[in-house]
């Protein structure tokens, strides 16, 4: 399977620390060596980097570690291919445009015999079950809403759609349009919120400790969502199976 990383932040934040831990899992400390990608929202704009080389040995990934980009919404992925060849068009995250906004999606799991009927302008470029699921979700969202709805409305619609995909297998995913981060757990997903008072954190996959109190202001806050915890000394919360959470300004929205 693959590994996911998502950040939803109250203020623009770089993913250098968390991405470094994820990068090591892309072919060094773990076997997810079939490509990687990361997306940074900047207002309505988007920077998307994908590579079919392993993240642990990718010059582009090393460049991004040295040139951290700041964003309020970041989605990253390291791939272990289960369907679709190791090619650039099959590398997550995937991106499409709906209602005048970029949408970014990354998936961890395996959907068996999943061939949804796609009849609008959302069609996959590659041949992964993940991209097919993304296209179907956007197609159904577009059918349900004439224009961009509120985050709570989008969340309700997603909850209604998800069972139709889940029945085909494991469907852990991250989704964002630059306004919110949606995270769905089928089998495994964890999150934490870093906020004042900040503390130290040490990566599990690399000898790197950061004192977040030295690099953050009191108003900074970031929700970090991962497949498996990236740090050894922070308290991560596991998602329940079948749970969909939405994060805005670095916090999970309660009651949505």
In sequence order, the 6+-apart residues with CB closer than 8 A to the CB of 81 are 34, 35, 90
Other C-beta atoms closer than 10 Å to the C-beta of 6 total 29
Residue 2 designated active-site: yes
Other C-beta atoms closer than 10 Å to the C-beta of 17 total 22
Q: Which of 2, 9, 135, 185 is catalytic?
A: 2
Residue with tokens 């998502």: 6
Sign of CA dihedral 35, 73, 231, 243: negative
In sequence order, the 6+-apart residues with CB closer than 8 A to the CB of 18 are 5, 7, 224, 226, 230
**Helices 59-66 and 16-25: crossing angle, nearest 10°?**
160
The residues annotated with a catalytic role in the active site are 2
């Amino acid at each position: 399977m693959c590994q996911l990383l998502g950040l939803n932040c109250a203020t623009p934040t770089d993913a250098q620390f968390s991405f470094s831990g994820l990068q090591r899992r892309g072919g060094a400390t773990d076997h997810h060596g079939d490509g990687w990608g990361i997306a940074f929202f900047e207002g309505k704009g988007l920077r998307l980097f994908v590579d079919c080389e392993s993240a642990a040995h990718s010059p582009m990934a090393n460049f991004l570690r040295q040139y951290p980009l700041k964003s309020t919404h970041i989605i990253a992925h390291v791939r272990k291919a289960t369907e679709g060849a190791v090619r650039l068009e099959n590398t997550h995250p995937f991106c499409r445009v709906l209602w005048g906004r970029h949408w970014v999606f990354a998936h961890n799991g395996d959907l068996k015999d999943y061939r949804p009927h796609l009849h609008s302008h959302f069609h996959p470029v590659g041949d992964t079950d993940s991209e097919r699921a993304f296209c179907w979700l956007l197609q159904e969202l577009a059918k349900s809403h004439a224009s961009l709805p509120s985050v709570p409305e989008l969340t309700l619609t997603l909850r209604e759609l998800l069972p139709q995909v889940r029945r085909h297998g494991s469907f852990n995913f991250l989704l964002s349009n630059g306004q919110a981060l949606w995270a769905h757990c089928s089998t495994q997903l964890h999150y934490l919120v870093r906020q004042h008072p900040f503390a130290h954190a040490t990566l599990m996959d690399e000898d790197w400790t950061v004192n977040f109190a030295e690099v953050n202001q009191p108003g900074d806050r970031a929700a970090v969502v991962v497949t498996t915890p990236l740090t050894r000394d922070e308290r991560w919360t596991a998602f329940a199976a079948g749970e969909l959470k939405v994060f805005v300004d670095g916090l999970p929205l309660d009651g949505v």
